Chains A and B, each alone.
Chain A
Amino acid sequence: MSAASTIEGKEDGKVKLVGKSLWSDAFRRLKKNRAAVVSAVVLIVLFVCSWVVPWISPYAYDKTNLAIGPTAPSLSHWMGTDFFGRDLFTRLFFGGRISFMVALTATSMSLLIGVTWGGIAGYVGGKVDALMMRIVDILYTFPFLIFVILLMVFFAGPKSPLYSAFLTILSPFSDDPKGAKNFAIFQIFVVFFAIGSISWLTMARMVRGQVLSLRGQPFVEAARSIGVGPTALIFRHLLPNALGPIIVYTTLTIPEVMMTEAFLSFLGLGTQEPLSSWGLLAATGAETMDYYWWQLVFPSALLAATLFCFNFLGDGLRDAMDPRVRKD
């Protein structure tokens, strides 16, 4: 199913074959899906803004202004200020960096480990499958929150060996390596790792389920009968056919991961002040929503909009990549 070829036209009596790969085909279909294209554009804009806004903004994300305190949105502060008079617009897009970074690291970890793990388990089957899935079960059983709390306690405390390693790497680049900001950055790395290392489990189960039901099908037998090896069989035949669910699941993973970070921040275990993330800002806003509505509304709106767009894009990708939707 890798390439469908069409006869494009005759030139000088020669038939010219133009390969239409799965991907170019999918991309063409994706472009027709307006919601998906708009979502992709919005996501790119948000991503770029997250890197540019804190950089060109007249306010620093952690610059307090106790004289003005919490103010409603105005011309000088487009989204108002928080309790300490920090500009919310700047803090919001600075938080976007962290939310995007969490999404990227944890999701790629989930894809890489989960797909390989599930693919192998589903394909090989038998004892290997039982063993691999038992490991997933065990990791599942371990309640994620305790895992994260333990990780934070083990590695994110000021006495942690990881922190001193982090300081050693950082010290040539920073005047004040032991500052609160660097400690917060260090803790975020621990959060990345914690979320990433558990978010592949569902992906693995999902892929295994797909591969299990695919590998009994005739085309796999056909491929095996002409001598296709196991690696090629998994990566060229089984996984591309399971791509639809994998992509749908990836788009479900991204918002899940972003939300996990927000959830941790809500419990006080994720991103710490003076840094910001959408989850942290929304959690702070939720506490004071009766008085300072803008502190809840803007972070939640941005978080929800981003997750919305990832979902729309994922759905568009799904429709674009499922060969069975093809009308031609």
Chain B
Amino acid sequence: MIGYALRRFSAIVPTLWVVMTVLFFLLRAVPGGPFDSERAVPAEIEKAQLAYYKLNEPLWVQYTHWLKNVVIHQDLGPSFRHAGRTVNEIIWLSFPYSAKLGFWAAIVALLVGIPLGVYAATKHNKVGDHVAMGVAMTGVSVPRFVLAPLLVLVFSLKLYLLPAARWETWRHMILPVVCAGLPMAAYVARLSRAGMLEVIKSDFVRTAKAKGMPMRRILLRHTLKGALLPVVIYLAPGLSSLLIGSLVIERIFNIPGMGRYLVEAATNRDYNLVMGVVLVYGALVMTLNAVVDIAHRYFDPRVNVEGT
């Protein structure tokens, strides 16, 4: 188990290296450059800019330069479009906002989703099930960018209960976190219900019931671990889609997170910033994937990852 975990984690670095290398050359193959603009800049200025950022050197030199800086100095280089600021600085300032939003949204998703799904499964095909799944489906069916303006309209503009935008106190956090977390909660609820139903019908649950074990104890001690399997599998893609989804949330609520740089930098061909954001994002997602795989193995001992 520990050996597996170690191997799983140590695979992250080479994979990340491949991804970043592909991205490096892909970005430079895209037509257009960081200093293209509507107004033509005098040729000398453009040349000086390119030379300053070492963009006039051969690709291979640029690549080794970038790699060396990242590996040895943990330096992601200067941003091309945010003059005078380094990528490290930009990410260092913006990432905490995104991380905080994502973390709390995930907590909301699990705390709302799992109990809802388990409750629905225990009331399978009864009114409670239908109501709970109706709520979950509403969550799945309403996009974040529809949900967010509606909640802002109701809670901020009509009821004056919560601030409509920005990110200062915990009151500012409520609407964005809820908007980001609810769609994921709905997925979690559906998956934990499906997983629970699988387990509830199995023989060992019937035996436990026959022995006279109280339902609450059966649920908590026997079925929850197996039933959460689909949720665990979903968690990694769910969290990464949460990060992507928070892009919209950050935009709507004007939160200074990392998400906005993702789109902005790619459109502007701010190579270093794109590389930096992808690197942070990639390392995060791959670590999460590894954790999920290890958790999957822990939750379901039938899985034999080594192969037979």
A143 touches B278 (CB 8 A): yes
A266 touches B32 (CB 8 A): no
* Known A-B contacts A129-B307, A146-B266; A290 and B153 likewise in contact (beta carbons under 8 Å): yes
Q: Mark B283-308, 1 if CB is under 8 A from A, else 0.
A: 00110010000001000101111111
From A159, A216, A289, give the contact of B149 (CB < 8 A): A289
Q: Mark A280-299, 1 if CB is under 8 A from B, else 0.
A: 00110010011000001000
Residue with the highest number of chain A CB atoms closer than 10 Å, among B153, B201, B307: B307
Which residue in chain B gives the minimum CB-CB distance to A124? B307
Contacts of B208 in A (CB 8 A): none
B289 touches A216 (CB 8 A): no
Stretch binding the partner chain, chosen from A6-14, A103-111, A168-176, A306-314:
A306-314
Q: Does B19 contact A (CB under 8 A)?
A: yes
Which residue in chain A gives the minimum CB-CB distance to B183? A259
A279 touches B143 (CB 8 A): yes
Q: Mark A294-328, 1 if CB is under 8 A from B, else 0.
A: 00100010011101100110010010000011000
Contacts of B236 in A (CB 8 A): 140, 205
Which residue in chain B gives the minimum CB-CB distance to A259? B143
A212 touches B149 (CB 8 A): no
B267 touches A125 (CB 8 A): no
B307 touches A213 (CB 8 A): no
Give Cα A290 to B150, complex, Å. Answer: 10
Q: Does A138 contact B (CB under 8 A)?
A: yes
- How close is A260's CB to chain B, nearest CB, in angstroms? 9
Q: Does A126 contact B (CB under 8 A)?
A: yes
B142 touches A154 (CB 8 A): no
Category for how many chain B residues contact A: 35 or more
Contacts of A315 in B (CB 8 A): 133
Give Cα A212 to B178, complex, Å. Answer: 35
Q: Does B50 contact A (CB under 8 A)?
A: no
A266 touches B15 (CB 8 A): no
Which residue in chain B gives the minimum CB-CB distance to A122? B303
A142 touches B23 (CB 8 A): yes
How many A-B residue pairs have C-beta atoms within 8 angstroms? Tell me. Answer: 159
Chain A residues numbered 210-248 whose CB sits less than 8 Å from any CB in chain B: 212-213, 216-217, 244-245, 248
B282 touches A141 (CB 8 A): yes
Q: Does B146 contact A (CB under 8 A)?
A: yes
Contacts of B137 in A (CB 8 A): 307-308, 311-312
A245 touches B15 (CB 8 A): no
Q: Does A69 contact B (CB under 8 A)?
A: no
Chain A interface helix/strand/loop/mixed:
helix
Q: Does A85 contact B (CB under 8 A)?
A: no
Q: Does A273 contact B (CB under 8 A)?
A: no
Which residue in chain B gives the minimum CB-CB distance to A209? B233
Which residue in chain B gives the minimum CB-CB distance to A153? B30
From B144, B157, B304, give the contact of A216 (CB < 8 A): B304
- How close is A265's CB to chain B, nearest CB, in angstroms? 10
A contacts with B, residue count (CB < 8 A): 59
Q: Does A194 contact B (CB under 8 A)?
A: no
* Known A-B contacts A137-B289, A312-B137; A282 and B145 likewise in contact (beta carbons under 8 Å): yes
From B141, B237, B282, give the contact of A142 (CB < 8 A): B282
* Known A-B contacts A126-B307, A150-B26, A212-B303; A255 and B153 likewise in contact (beta carbons under 8 Å): no
Give Cα A296 to B147, complex, Å. Answer: 11
From B149, B191, B244, give the contact of A144 (CB < 8 A): B244
Give Cα A113 to B264, complex, Å. Answer: 32
A283 touches B145 (CB 8 A): yes
Q: Does B194 contact A (CB under 8 A)?
A: yes
Give Cα A322 to B146, complex, Å. Answer: 34
Q: Does A166 contact B (CB under 8 A)?
A: no
Contacts of A279 in B (CB 8 A): 143
- How close is A264's CB to chain B, nearest CB, in angstroms? 11
Q: Does A201 contact B (CB under 8 A)?
A: yes
Q: 8 A-B pairs, CB-CB below 8 angstroms?
A: A125-B306, A140-B240, A140-B289, A141-B286, A143-B240, A145-B244, A146-B278, A153-B266
Residues on A close to B: CB < 8 A?
124-127, 129, 134, 137-138, 140-146, 149-150, 153-154, 157, 159, 201-202, 205-206, 209, 212-213, 216-217, 244-245, 248, 252, 255, 259, 262-263, 266-267, 279, 282-283, 286, 289-290, 296, 300, 303-305, 307-308, 311-312, 315, 318, 324-325
